[in-house]
Structure 1
Amino acid sequence: MSPAFRVAGRINRPVHEVFEAVVDPAQLSGYFTTGGANGRLESGATVTWDFADFPGAFPVQVVEVVPDQKIVLHWPAADGGADSGGSYDTKVTMTFEALEDGRTLVSIAETGWRDTAAGQKAAFGNCEGWTGMLCALKVYIEYGINLRAGFYK
């Protein structure tokens, strides 16, 4: 069975504000892409994300964007070296649900790793990364704090 996961968290802001904090590269760079994000997340676009803990810009293919509801991305699997059968992409699906109390439920699922030890390790690493992203998003959008500033350097 191929590794896959889903993480979720509630953000105390309206869905549109939370969605914009993810699709807008300036905001995303303020709490998640510690090396910067280049390009707005729009259907059909390819943008780049750079992280201080994994230097070098990653290409991110934006497959689908439904405003205030869903973002579907493809990006390189962390275990795609020559020893593991070559490079390949995983699929990331983010959903945004407006809750009755004014908060937003953000869910992030990632699928598509190979069913190998390297694939399992990469999936666990990305699960940790997406959980950190949700925590950083919450603190950034609710309190204006960049939780990841200085965390990796």
Structure 2
Amino acid sequence: MELRFKVAARIARPVAEVYEAVADPARLSGYFTTGGAKGRLETGAVVTWDFADFPGAFPVQVIEATAPSRIVLRWDGTEDGQGPYQTTVTMSFEPLEDGRTLVRIEEEGWRPTQAGLEASYGNCQGWTQMLSAMKAYVEHGLNLREGMYA
């Protein structure tokens, strides 16, 4: 059993602007990384993301950052008694004919264990929420996560 998921959303802004909402740590901190993001998403970089609901900064390895179309990240999976491992997150940004951007996020690489399954569900929820929060932030300047966890 391969544990992976895909989520998607359409954002009513041009693709370059939507890409920057993820790549730029100041913008990402405005709607997603409630504890802050440090470091721009550039190929080969290791940045940190901090979340109020999961205190402590997470290192995020940037495997690929190709503006304005694709970002590939790796970060630690959940410990399951078999030692550490990483999952891979692939984000794609596709311009649509009407000027909107289709954002797709896929994550894969969990071990086929109960702990891996539970972690994948949690991350699927988190990425879905990220897309909703990004839509509100980029289109309307609203931070849906502000005060949600603190």
Question: How high is the TM-score relative to the length of structure 2?
Answer: 0.99
1:144 aligned onto 2:141 = yes
Give the CA deviation at 1:80: 1.7
What is the DSSP-based 3-state SS (H/G/I as helix, E as strand, rest coil) of the residue aligned with 2:97? coil
**Map of 1:3 onto structure 2:** 3
Alignment correspondent of 2:95:
98
Q: How many matched pairs?
A: 150
Partner deviation per Cα, 1:29-66 (whole Å, 9 max, x = no partner): 00000000000000000000000000000000000011
Identity %: 65
Counterpart residue identity of residue 86, structure 1: G
Q: Deviations over 1:55-107 (max 9, x none)?
A: 00000000001111000000011x225x2x01110000000000000000000
The 5-angstrom pairing of residues 25-104 of structure 1 reads: 25-77=25-77, 79-81=78-80, 83=81, 85-104=82-101
Structure 1 residue runs of 4+, over 4 Å off? none
State whether structure 2 residue 109 is matched by structure 1 residue 108. Answer: no
Gap regions ≥5 residues in structure 2: none
Instruction: Let me know the Cα RMSD of the aligned residues.
Output: 0.6
SS in 2 for 1:112: strand
Q: TM-score, normalised by structure 1?
A: 0.97
CA distance in 2, matches of 1:38, 1:86: 27
Aligned pair partner of 2:120 in 102, 114, 123? 123
Stretches of structure 1 lacking an aligned partner (at least 5 in a row) = none
Show CA shifts across 1:86-140 (max 9, x none): 1110000000000000000000000000000000000000000000000000000
Q: Aligned partner of 1:137: which letter?
A: M
